[in-house]
Amino acid sequence: MTTVEHAVGATGASGRVGLNRQSITGLVFGLLGIALLAGVAPAISGNSRRFNFEPPPDPAGIGFHPPTWVVAIGVLFLLTAVLGFAPPEARRWASPARLLSALAVIPLLLVLSLALSDNPSTNIVNLFNESLVLATPLALGATTGLWCERSGIINIGIEGTMLAGAGIGYMTYATIGDAQSTGWLWFSILISVLAGGLVAALLAVLSIRFGVNQIVGGVVINLFALGLTGFLRSEVIVKTGITTGVGTSEFGLPLLSEIPVIGDQLFRGKPIYWMMYLVVIGTWLVMFRTPWGLRVRSCGENPHAAETLGVNVVRIRYQSVILGGLIAGLAGAWFSMESQTRFEDNMTNAAGFIALAALIFGKWTPWGAFGGALLFGFSRALGTRLQFLGVEVSGFEIPSEFLQALPFIVTLVVVAGAVGRSIPPAAAGQPFQRSK
């Protein structure tokens, strides 16, 4: 009797309090849906468009009629909005509907951008691949943050750690390698990784040994890396004369890259890109399947409890932060020796901060963080694609800066409604003092 009452009370309560976010999200989807049905669908051209699956000539693909798609997605949005306000019995459909609608934003952006441009077709498999590649440093950076924060250290110095890895790695290559061959390239990548570990060790000493505020420590790392790599570029790299080098080269995965149409586009890639998958999978395995991973997570949740069980919290935090730094160093190498083959000042360009956003977005889990990174990678790839397509709205060409930013804004706003609140490890940011 009492348990039944309690259960009813609990659902009633969560329904009532959750209504706030639900109703706001519902409202947003409702307005979007109305705008699509009443405003966009009639306005865009009814000419058929095509999604290609491979590069020309004569690509495979599917044709579609843009207004139909816009109407379909608009109806989905409206349905989601209505479900948000539906009676409690129908509420259980509201959450999947929100997720579906959030995902539908991606095809919507694609359909709209193609419909609003003069180009009749675009290759979407290639777009997906670009998203994955651009997600590489973000996923690696988010994994860095994952190791640090799960152990209880907030690391906003990921940006600086990556930059130091990129700069010091390339400097090594420019100093002892040469501009035409890949000799010493792998050694330089290793140096990048180690440089990342070293910079992270600095953060670890500051925050663990000296109890410096972790945010301040991270800011110091970012400023320090920016200054250091700028100095090294102008004083060392430029003087070697090797300002552009040879980067890592693509290879196809056996068998998979043989798959017709998509194989060659999706399963060919460069080594750091492939390593990113290994890092994410490895992180997931180690963090959630091994004793050491369990201990790391306990240090980020309740270090004093861990201490009472004989876990050496200080050591675990050092290990995790430095491991994170090694991963960030690899992300740095991606910038200067895989994506580009040179080093520029501030070339990481806020990827470290976007990685943090991906981490929070992914609720501090490896796969969630990877998903977040992929989403931001897609936003970046789509921003570039939109520029190529030349999107026009009633004869007015949208400025490229706006096009670059638009996907980020749309995905963030919409997915914020679907992902909801993200709870960090309980002890992240708290200095730990061993009992005396």
Partner 1 sequence: MAQASGGAARPVLEVEGITKAFPGVVANDDVSLTLNQGEIHCLLGENGAGKSTLVNMVFGLYRPDQGTIKVRGEEVHFEDSGDAIARGIGMVHQHFQLIPVFTVAENIILGNEVTKGAFLDLDSARRQIDSLAERYGLAVDPDATVGDLSVGEQQRVELVKALFRDADILILDEPTAVLTPGEVDDFFGVVESLTGQGKSIIFITHKLREVLAVADRITVLRAGQVVGTATAEGATQQSLANLMVGRDVVFRVDKAEADPGAPVLRTQDLRVADDRGVETVTGFDVEVRAGEIFGIAGVEGNGQRELVEAICGMRPTAGGRVEMLGQETTDWSPRKINELGVAHVPENRSKHGVVAQYTIADNLVLNRYHHRKFSQRGVRNTAAINAEAQELVEQFDVRTPGVDAVIDTLSGGNQQKVIVARELTGDLKALVVAQPTRGLDVGSIEFIHRKIIELRDRGVAVLLVSAELDEILSLSDRIGVLYRGRLAGTVNAADATREELGLLMATGSSGGQR
Bridge partners for 392 per DSSP = 397
By beta-carbon proximity to partner 1, the closer residue of 289 and 395 is 289
* Binding residue (CB under 8 A) for partner 1 from 10, 35, 75, 393: 10
| Cβ atoms 338, 270 nearer than 8 A | yes
Neighbours of 386 (CB within 10 A): 24
Q: Which of 23, 182, 243, 312 binds partner 1 (CB under 8 A)?
A: 312
Which residue's CB is nearer to partner 1, number 6 or number 239?
6
Q: Are 386 and 397 in contact (CB under 8 A)?
A: no
Tokens of 415: 């997915």
Separation of CA 279 from chain center: 14
Q: Which of 304, 408, 422, 429 binds partner 1 (CB under 8 A)?
A: 304
Q: How far is Cα 108 from Cα 116, in angstroms, rounded to an integer?
A: 12
- CB nearer partner 1, residue 302 or residue 387: 302
Closest by CA position to 68, among listed 34, 99, 51, 45: 45
Using CB under 8 A as the binding rule, whether residue 91 contacts partner 1 is answered as no
**Beta 121-123 vs 49-52: how paired, if at all?**
parallel
- The verdict on 295 binding partner 1 (CB under 8 A) reads yes
Q: How far is the CB of 316 from partner 1 (least distance, A)?
A: 11
Which residues is 121 bridged to in the sheet? 50
Tokens read off for 420: 């909801």
Smallest gap from residue 250 Cβ to partner 1 (A):
33
Distance CA 367, CA 139 (A): 9
Of residues 265 through 294, those in contact with partner 1 by CB under 8 A are: 285, 289-291, 294
* 2 interacts with partner 1 by CB under 8 A: yes
**308 lies in the binding site for partner 1 (CB under 8 A):** yes
* Between 17 and 75, CB nearer to partner 1: 17
Using DSSP's 3-state secondary structure scheme, residue 393 falls into strand
Which lies closer to partner 1 via its Cβ, residue 205 or residue 314?
314
Contact 204, 322 (CB under 8 A): yes
Task: Find the binding residues for partner 1 in span 11-50 (CB under 8 A).
Answer: 12-14, 16-18
301 binds partner 1 (CB under 8 A): yes
Which range binds partner 1 by CB under 8 A, 47-55, 209-217, 259-267, 299-307? 299-307
Residue from the set 103, 194, 205, 311 that interacts with partner 1 by CB under 8 A? 311
CB of 230 to partner 1, least distance (A): 42
In the set 310, 394, 395, 396, which binds partner 1 (CB under 8 A)?
A: 310
Q: Does 88 bind partner 1 (CB under 8 A)?
A: no
- Name the token pair of 88: 């409690």
Measured distance CA(106)–CA(102) in Å, rounded: 8
Torsion sign over Cα 128, 81, 73, 118: negative
Closest separation between CB of residue 7 and partner 1, Å? 11
Which of these, 77, 240, 75, 253, lies nearest to 172 by C-alpha position? Answer: 240
Determine the Cα–Cα distance for residues 323 and 414; give it in Å rounded to an integer. 34
Task: Tell me how far CA of residue 418 lies from CA of 304, 362, 423, in angstroms.
Answer: 35, 12, 15
Taking CB under 8 A as the criterion, the residue among 130, 149, 159, 307 binding partner 1 is 307
Minimum distance from residue 108 beta carbon to partner 1 (Å): 31
Binding region for partner 1 (CB under 8 A): 2, 5-6, 9-10, 12-14, 16-18, 285, 289-291, 294-295, 297-298, 301-302, 304-312, 426, 435-436
